C-alpha cells in the first residue's frame, strides 16, 4: 500500500498500526535472505508506530534507510568493511524530521560501499538482488532500499543520490525515486561521498507519496550550510510545456528503453500536453566531468578513514610507522571501487593535473547548468530516459568500471546542475520496468510533482 492508502485504513480502524509493521516484518523474514535488501532490522518498529499521532503527515509510513544515514545507537557501515562495527552517535536531520512527522524505521538498506556504484554489488556485505528477477541487479548505490520498497518490505525508503543513486535503482525496480534540489534537504548525519553532489531523497510506490515525504524532510538546517529557506515556486496553472532533449536518445541507449520512452512521450503528447524538442548541447561531456569532480571529492572525503580516528584498525602485518599503519588500515578496509576512485581523485587534484582535469571539469559543469537554465526559459519540465538499459545481470558489468559508470549517464546531469529530478515507471519491456526521468528548474519541486503526477496517470492507463 502507498502511504496515503495506509493512512486511510489506519484512520478508519480497518487495520491496527502494529499490523502494518508486522506485515512488513513477515515479508522481510520471507524474502530478505534471498534479496539482501536489509543489513539490519529494527525490532522496536511495532512499538514505535503505536506511539505516533494519526494527524501527522507521515503517520503509518514505515521506512527503510540507506546504511550511510545515521540513526543513533544503530550500526552505520556505508556498505564498507572499514565501518563494519561503527555505531552512530546521533540522528541525521532527515531521521529527526521523519520521526517528528510520524514515520518509523524498520531497518538499514544495503548499498554500494560509500555509495560508489550502480548495482549494489560493491557492498562488503554482498550484493542486493532485484525482486523482479533475483539474477539481476536492483541498481545502485541505494539498491537495498529500492528493492525493499519494490518487494513490499516497507512502504518508503530514504537514500542518498550523488549521481543517480536514488533514481537509477528506482527505475530498475519499478518504483518512484526522487532527488530534490541541491540544498533543499539537509545532509547532516549522512556519510559524505561527493559533497557538492550529495542529496537525500525518497523511494516510494507513487509520486504523491514522494511529495508527502519531501514536504516532511525539506527545509533549512543550521547544521548543513548549503540548505536554504528559499520558497518553492508554486504551480499556478493547469497546463505545462515539456521539453525532450535529443541528446538523451543517442548511440548506447538500448532499443528496449528507447522504444518504451518514445512511446511514453507520444502518450503524453496524445493526452494534450505540449511537448517540444530541445537541445542540451554539453550533455556529452556530463559523465566525464562528473567522474572527475566526484572522484576528487571522494579523495578528500574518505581521507578521514584511517583506522585511527574512524573505522577499523588492522594490525596485520604489524605497522612500524604511521605510514605503514595507514596503508594497512586503508588497504584492508576499502574495497576495489573505493580505492579506484580515491586514486583517480588524488591524481586529478595533484600538482600539474589540477588545471587539466578538475578545473576543466568544473567549467563544463557551469556550461551544463547554463544549458538547463536556457532550456527552462522555454519549457516547464524536461522528460528523458532514466537509464540507458534494462536491469543487467549480477556480475555482467562488475569487472568493467566504464560500462558500470555509463548506467548513470542520464542521471548525473541533474546532480551537476543541482536540479530536482524524479524517475517513475513509464512502460515495460521483457517483463522489466522502464523508467522515465522528469527534471525541473531549481526549487521548482511543485512543478516537478505536478508534471510527474500527470505523467503517472497517463502511463498507468
| Ramachandran angles phi, psi of 249, nearest 5° | -115, 65
Interatomic CA distance for residues 139 and 433, integer angstroms: 13
Nearest to 240 by CA among 435, 389, 380, 37: 380
Positions marked active-site: 66, 141, 165
Contact by Cβ (8 Å): 201, 185: yes
Interatomic CA distance for residues 161 and 163, integer angstroms: 6
Beta strands in 386-449 (DSSP E): 421-429, 432-439
- What's the order of all strands across the beta sheet hosting 38-41? 38-41, 104-109, 62-66, 156-161, 199-204, 176-179, 421-429, 432-439, 381-385, 241-245, 274-278
The bridge status of strand 156-161 relative to strand 241-245 is unpaired
Beta carbons within 10 angstroms of residue 11's beta carbon: 12
The bridge status of strand 62-66 relative to strand 421-429 is unpaired
| Ramachandran angles phi, psi of 322, nearest 5° | -65, -30
The answer to whether the bond into 317 is cis (omega within 30° of 0) is yes
| Ramachandran angles phi, psi of 96, nearest 5° | -55, -45
Interatomic CA distance for residues 307 and 311, integer angstroms: 5
Report CA dihedral (319, 322, 323, 329) to the nearest 10 degrees. Answer: 60
Radius of gyration of the CA atoms of the chain, in A? 21
Interatomic CA distance for residues 232 and 395, integer angstroms: 42
Amino acid at each position: 500500500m502507498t502511504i496515503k492508502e495506509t493512512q486511510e485504513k489506519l484512520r478508519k480502524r480497518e487495520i491496527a498500526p502494529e499490523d502494518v509493521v508486522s506485515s512488513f516484518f513477515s515479508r522481510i523474514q520471507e524474502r530478505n535472505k534471498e534479496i539482501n535488501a536489509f543489513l539490519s532490522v529494527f525490532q522496536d518498529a511495532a512499538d514505535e508506530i503505536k506511539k505516533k499521532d494519526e494527524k501527522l503527515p507521515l503517520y503509518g509510513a514505515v521506512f527503510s534507510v540507506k546504511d550511510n544515514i545515521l540513526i543513533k545507537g544503530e550500526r552505520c557501515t556505508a556498505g564498507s568493511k572499514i565501518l563494519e562495527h561503527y555505531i552512530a552517535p546521533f540522528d541525521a536531520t532527515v531521521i529527526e524530521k521523519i520521526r517528528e512527522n510520524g514515520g518509523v524505521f524498520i531497518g538499514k538498506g544495503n548499498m554500494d560501499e560509500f555509495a560508489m556504484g550502480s548495482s549494489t554489488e560493491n557492498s562488503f556485505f554482498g550484493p542486493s538482488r532485484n525482486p523482479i528477477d533475483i539474477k539481476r541487479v536492483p541498481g545502485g548505490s541505494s539498491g537495498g532500499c529500492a528493492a525493499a520498497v519494490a518487494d513490499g518490505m516497507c512502504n518508503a525508503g530514504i537514500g542518498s543520490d550523488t549521481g543517480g543513486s536514488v533514481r537509477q535503482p528506482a527505475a530498475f525496480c519499478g518504483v518512484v525515486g526522487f532527488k530534490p534540489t541541491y540544498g533543499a534537504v539537509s545532509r547532516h548525519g549522512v556519510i559524505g561521498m561527493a559533497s557538492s553532489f550529495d542529496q537525500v531523497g525518497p523511494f516510494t510506490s507513487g509520486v504523491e507519496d514522494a511529495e508527502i515525504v519531501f514536504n516532511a524532510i525539506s527545509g533549512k538546517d543550521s547544521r548543513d550550510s548549503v540548505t536554504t529557506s528559499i520558497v518553492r515556486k508554486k504551480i499556478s496553472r493547469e497546463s505545462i510545456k515539456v521539453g525532450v532533449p535529443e541528446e538523451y536518445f543517442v548511440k548506447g541507449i538500448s532499443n528496449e528503453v528507447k522504444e518504451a520512452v518514445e512511446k511514453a512521450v507520444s502518450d503524453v503528447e496524445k493526452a494534450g500536453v505540449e511537448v517540444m524538442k530541445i537541445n542540451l548541447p554539453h550533455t556529452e561531456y556530463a559523465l566525464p566531468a562528473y567522474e572527475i569532480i566526484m572522484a576528487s571529492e571522494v579523495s578528500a572525503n574518505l581521507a578521514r578513514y584511517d583506522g585511527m580516528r574512524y573505522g577499523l584498525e588492522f594490525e596485520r602485518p604489524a605497522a612500524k610507522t604511521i605510514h605503514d599503519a595507514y596503508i594497512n588500515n586503508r588497504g584492508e578496509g576499502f574495497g576495489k571501487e573505493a580505492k579506484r576512485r580515491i586514486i583517480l581523485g588524488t591524481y586529478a587534484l595533484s600538482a600539474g593535473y589540477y588545471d587539466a582535469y578538475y578545473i576543466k571539469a568544473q567549467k563544463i559543469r557551469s556550461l551544463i547548468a547554463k544549458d538547463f537554465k536556457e532550456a527552462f526559459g522555454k519549457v516547464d519540465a524536461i522528460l528523458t530516459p532514466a537509464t540507458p538499459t534494462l536491469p543487467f545481470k549480477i556480475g555482467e558489468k562488475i569487472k568493467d568500471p566504464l560500462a558500470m559508470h555509463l548506467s548513470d549517464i542520464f542521471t548525473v546531469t541533474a546532480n551537476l546542475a543541482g536540479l530536482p529530478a524524479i524517475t517513475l515507471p513509464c512502460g515495460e519491456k521483457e517483463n522489466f520496468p522502464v523508467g522515465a526521468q522528469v527534471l525541473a528548474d531549481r526549487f521548482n519541486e511543485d512543478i516537478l510533482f505536478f508534471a510527474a503526477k500527470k505523467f503517472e496517470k497517463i502511463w498507468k492507463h
